[in-house]
Amino acid sequence: MAKFLVTGGAGFIGGNFLHTMVRRYPEDEWVCLDALTYAGNMETLEPIMDLPNFKFVHANICDRERVFKLFEEEHFDYVINFAAESHVDRSIENPGIFLQTNVIGTQTLMDACRKYGIKRYHQVSTDEVYGDLPLDRPDLFFTEETPIHASSPYSASKAAADLLVLAYHRTFGLPCTISRCSNNYGPYQFPEKLIPLMIQKAQRGEPLPVYGTGENVRDWLYVGDHNNAIDLIVRRGRDGEIYNIGGHNERTNLDVVKTILRALGKSEDAITFVKDRPGHDRRYAMDPTKIEKELGWRPTYTFETGIIPTIKWNLDNSQWISHVESGEYQLWMRRYAEK
Ligand code: NAD
Ligand code: DAU
């Protein structure tokens, strides 16, 4: 039996992680800490809220006093840090909060780990720390040895956090692992990200805004496959190691948007090319050989098999979407806190 702290569990990937792991490991205890920013939603946690091995704590990972008190009370064995500001476009508008949460928040958690002791700290990171690859070199992939070369304030903040984790490992001997994953998609993704945004817009008959020429390439991974990889790394990965996660599902943005339109029976006329994202990364592509060989991880979904349930989930859960879009969940959270 072990006790896990999962930060950012009211968000997209952390929420899916908890849905699976709280049930997969009923003998373990799971505590979710989340600040409930615009991206965190208590309704995402409803399916597991009443399970006896799950508990929610409303707090900010940058709040040192609160975080330390929680560690003192709970005696965690494992800490998995999903909490982050995660949207590149928002980091271009307002970099400050990205440095605060993604860097200082990581430091705060690791300082608490040092003070109270843990078996392992796991940092959920991203392929974006490697920068981008040229479009005309499909033979190139990011490996764990690829130098860090971040492009946006978001990816720079994630890269800074990764370096800090490695420094805490080397300097203080903090037991830790880092995973770097490619673009995720699946249920409960906030509709600011490409796939859920395009599904919503297509459904509503609105124009679909494709940045630049739409030729940028992302390497799409179904969220459940990412979470299975994290589970393996946390339990069986080697201390101080970085693991790349990706399933070789590269698609241009235009391909992704066309796939969604086709699945919904909508016309491609809705595609509208708009001003490009500043510093827009051209291509991400992961080499997951290390995690496949060392831990036997394999993705279970291809893009073709994952996109269909993702579209269906978005169509079937219009209430969740309208609540997160309208901020209704903030009211839910207040009602929950008053219970
Ligand atoms: P998300 O934006 O959907 O969720 C982030 C969660 O963190 C929210 O619940 C939010 O309330 C919480 N949070 C934000 N600031 C906080 C703070 N200061 N204290 C406590 N909680 C806070 O993000 P996501 O897409 O689920 O990403 C989760 C993690 O995975 C992030 O670290 C991200 O960098 C990484 N990642 C994401 C992707 C992707 O494609 N979405 C891919 C690779 C890695
Ligand atoms: O690669 C992993 C990263 O993937 C994560 O670390 C980030 O947290 C996550 O947000 C995601 O970053 P991207 O910038 O790749 O995702 P986003 O969904 O914002 O955009 C995907 C691609 O689609 C990107 O090339 C920009 C483009 N795009 C996006 C939006 C929102 C559009 O063309 N139009 C849009 O409206």
Position 217 scores a pLDDT of: 98
For a ligand 1 pocket test, name from 5, 7, 13, 70 the mutation site with the most ligand atoms within 8 angstroms of its C-beta: 13
Position 327 scores a pLDDT of: 72
**Domain-located, residue 240:** yes
Position 55 scores a pLDDT of: 98
**Domain-located, residue 263:** no
**Domain-located, residue 213:** no
Angle between helices 303-316 and 318-326 in degrees, nearest 10:
70
**Domain-located, residue 143:** yes
pLDDT tens, position by position, for the chain (339 residues)?
999 999 999 999 999 999 999 999 999 999 999 999 999 999 999 999 999 999 999 999 999 999 999 999 999 999 999 999 999 999 999 999 999 999 999 999 999 999 999 999 999 999 999 999 999 999 999 999 999 999 999 999 999 999 999 999 999 999 999 999 999 999 999 999 999 999 999 999 999 999 999 999 999 999 999 999 999 999 999 999 999 999 999 999 999 999 999 999 999 999 999 999 999 999 999 999 999 999 999 999 999 999 999 999 999 999 999 999 887 656 655 565 565
Atom of ligand 2 nearest to the CA of 128: 1
**Domain-located, residue 28:** yes
- What distances in angstroms separate CA 202 from CA 135, 142, 208, one per listed residue? 27, 33, 7
Side by side, the strands of the sheet bearing 29-34 are: 54-58, 29-34, 3-7, 78-81, 120-126, 176-181, 241-245
Distance 192 CA to ligand 1 centre (A): 13
**Domain-located, residue 253:** no
Q: Whose CA is nearest to atom 13 of ligand 2?
A: 88
Q: Which of 195, 88, 211, 214 is nearest to 151 (CA)?
A: 88
Position 34 scores a pLDDT of: 98
How many domains does the chain fold into? 1
Q: Which ligand is nearest to the CA of 189?
A: 1
Position 334 scores a pLDDT of: 58
Distance 89 CA to ligand 2 centre (A): 8
**Domain-located, residue 126:** yes
Position 51 scores a pLDDT of: 98
**Domain-located, residue 232:** yes
Q: Whose CA is nearest to atom 4 of ligand 2?
A: 183
DSSP E strands, the chain: 3-7, 29-34, 54-58, 78-81, 120-126, 176-181, 184-185, 208-211, 217-219, 221-222, 241-245, 250-252, 271-274
Position 337 scores a pLDDT of: 53
Position 96 scores a pLDDT of: 98
The pTM assigned to this predicted structure is 0.97
Position 159 scores a pLDDT of: 98
d(CA 253, CA 269): 16
What domain range is 58 assigned to?
3-186+221-246+283-301+327-337
What dihedral angle (degrees, nearest 10) is formed by the CA atoms of 223, 294, 122, 22?
50
Q: What is the CATH number of the domain that holds 225?
A: 3.40.50.720
